Amino acid sequence: MKYLVPLEEDKGENSKISWHIGRAPYFAIVSLDPEVKLEVKPTIGHTGSSDALNFVRTYKVDAIVAKAIGQRALQSLLSIGIKVYETRADTLNEVINEIKNNKLKTYTPAGLLGLVSPSIYGPTYTPSTLQPPVAPTSSGKLRVAVATEGAGGLEDIVSVRFGRCPTFTFLEVENGEIVNVEVKQNPYAMAPQGAGIAVVQFIISSGANYVVAGAFGPNASYALSQAPVVAINVPPGTRVKDVLNYLR
């Protein structure tokens, strides 16, 4: 069986997995036969989801392994018999190990966020309709993803944008106290479309219990309403260090 994996770079098995399946600069073709065979190929033109479809046809792969995938690309791949698997791995080597150990999870239309358009529900989907707060673990630990304007850590300002905020500041909270801070670039900040839903998938993959922003668009609000993540709105100008005051 041959698998197609989107990559950010060409560093063999150490290559980072790309969040942008349609605009990945490289694709890996992985097969187990029974030993691992690996090829890394650059994409041409970066024309969107058609890149992935062209690679599927050119290299006759049987499946795609991705961190996130859009509705159109998923439907197109499934329609031509290509299996689509989900991964949370950061490197190609980790994906190969998932393949070897049969640890990949299948993407299904029912399970993919965003397959049902939020527009059919009208304009009433707002953060107030989201699920009740996720309970902390027995040790009182929580992970909070905060949409932010830069890399200022606890002193940064919460972004009024969710899907296109420049960064996310992740807070590890234990018994009501911040014990760790990590800043990550938003991989979908410059996406031409579908940023809100893609970022929700990114947040879920990060293991966050809460996500905080100044505002959430209708698509993101709907996707979050289907996810085990609680969305919290905070007033403009709120600093990251103060967001714990708004967690319910």
In the predicted model, what is the mean pLDDT of residues 87-115? 76
CATH H superfamily, domain 120-246: Dinitrogenase iron-molybdenum cofactor biosynthesis domain (3.30.420.130)
Tens digits of per-residue pLDDT, 186-220?
998 887 777 888 899 899 888 999 999 999 887 78
CA distance 179 to 176: 9
Task: Tell whether the model's pLDDT for residue 122 goes beyond 50.
Answer: no
Domains 2-106 and 120-246 belong to one CATH topology: yes
The confidence score (pLDDT) of residue 70 equals 66
CATH architecture assigned to 2-106: 2-Layer Sandwich (3.30)
pTM: 0.51
Print burial letters for 189-227: b (CB count within 10 Å at least 16), e (below 16). Answer: eebeebbbbbbbbbbbebebbbbbbbbbbbbbbbbbbbb
Ordered by start, the domain boundaries in the chain are 2-106, 120-246
Task: Tell whether the model's pLDDT for residue 147 goes beyond 50.
Answer: yes
pLDDT band at 112 (very low <50, low <70, confident <90, very high): very low
Instruction: Give the orientation angle of helix 218-225 with respect to helix 195-205, to 10 degrees.
Output: 30
CA distance 98 to 4: 14
